[in-house]
Every structure is written in C-alpha cells, then in structure tokens.
Amino acid sequence: MLSACSNAQSPPLETEEALKHENILIVYLSRTNNTKAIAEIIQEQVGGTLVALELETPYPEDYKAIVAQVHSENETGYLPPLKTKIGNIQDYDTVFLGFPTWDMQLPPPMKSFLHAYDLSGKTVIPFNTNGGYGIGSSFETVNDLCPDANILKGFSMKGGLERDGILLAIKGDKRAEARTEVIEWLQSIQVL
C-alpha cells in the first residue's frame, strides 16, 4: 500500500523550498520497524513522501523461515513481486532507499524495487539498519543497480537483532540518538 505522509505540522516553506521537498521520496523496507524509525526521522528533517515496501505475498513471520527464504531468493536471484506501486516516480528528484541488512546483502524486495523503477538522473541516498553486522554488500548493490544515478554517502545504524528476540531497538533514548546521527549525516551530504 502506498502511504503518502506529509509533515502537516511544519510551517509553510518558501515556494522553491516546498517544491524541493515535494520531490523527495523515502522508500523503505522494515520488518521490525527499525528502518521505519530512521525513515520517519529523515522525513521529519527533509519532508517528502514516505512509502513502505510491501510484498504481494508477505514473508513468513517465523524468523528461521524468513532467513531460509531470503537466502534462497538471494542464491537464485528471485525478485519477489511488490504490492507497493509508485505511479509517479518521474516526479521525484531525490530518492532515499531504506532497508535492513538481510543475509549480508540488499534485501530481495529492495532489489525488486530497483529493478522495477528507473532512478537514472536522480539523487539516490541509501540508509540501513542492521543487527550489528554492518551493511554487507547492500550499498554496493545499490550502486550497481542505479548506474546512472547520483548516489550519495549512505547511513547505517545498529537496530534490533531479531535472531535474539530484540525487535524495535530504535525507540526512546536510542531514537533520540538516531535523530542526532541522522541530522549529522544529512548535513554531511548537504541535504539538510
């Protein structure tokens, strides 16, 4: 489902600034809501449209089952069909891509998104949450799948560790810390 969320509480922006912010798309995949938390922080700072990636056939709830399925999809190159559709991708100049690290790679649903939508000529900005193992090859895969995009330095933060039953970790004090880190990152890439 497409979820267009706007920051209605913000004071009105100057016309040029408003247009700039309307041209931002924040697409994210989040199983335990850690990546969603970062996506929301980004939207609070830069505005834009927030879209959660959903699959036509959702992954299983069981952790071991999803790990096995994702591993198989990565091995075979299978791209799961997306329920999420974006009819106006051409209207966006900047696309933030948020995802967890799965199997030390870019998750198959994000690969599906990048195969379905041409981001040529756009500014693409990856962000990631992970269980402490880092980004793996995910940012490199974004580079490979968006050869004609301007890809900026990505952001990564440790979130939950589902294997150990730690789900949403970016909340409370950790969310405040994440907000500070996201703002610093956005400033460093000159988006804020």
SS3 per-residue string spanning 97-111: EEEECECCECCHHHH
Q: Mean pLDDT throughout 126-147?
A: 96
Domain ranges of the chain: 15-188
pLDDT 10s digits, 35-79: 999 999 999 999 999 999 999 999 999 999 999 999 999 999 999
pLDDT for 164 = 84
- Residue 132's nearest CA partner among 167, 166, 160 is 160
- Amino acid identity of 45? Q
Among the ranges given (74-78, 93-97, 167-171), the one the predictor scored with the smallest mean pLDDT:
167-171
Q: Mean pLDDT throughout 9-27?
A: 58
Q: Mean pLDDT throughout 165-184?
A: 93
User: What whole-number distance in Å separates Cα of residue 51 and Cα of residue 91?
Assistant: 14
pLDDT for 21 = 61
pLDDT for 14 = 40
pLDDT for 84 = 97
User: What whole-number distance in Å separates Cα of residue 125 and Cα of residue 149?
Assistant: 10
User: What whole-number distance in Å separates Cα of residue 45 and Cα of residue 185?
Assistant: 11
pLDDT for 18 = 41
Alpha helices, H only, the chain? 15-22, 34-46, 63-76, 108-116, 138-145, 173-188
pLDDT for 110 beyond 50: yes
pLDDT for 168 = 85
pLDDT band with cut points at 50, 70 and 90 for residue 1? very low
pLDDT for 100 beyond 80: yes
Which of the following CATH numbers is that of domain 15-188: 3.40.50.1820, 3.40.50.11540, 3.40.640.10, 3.40.50.360?
3.40.50.360
pLDDT for 160 = 85
Task: Say what percent of the chain tops pLDDT 90.
Answer: 81
Handedness of CA 49, 9, 154, 66 (dihedral sign): negative
pLDDT for 11 = 36
Q: How far is CA 46 from the centre of its chain?
A: 14
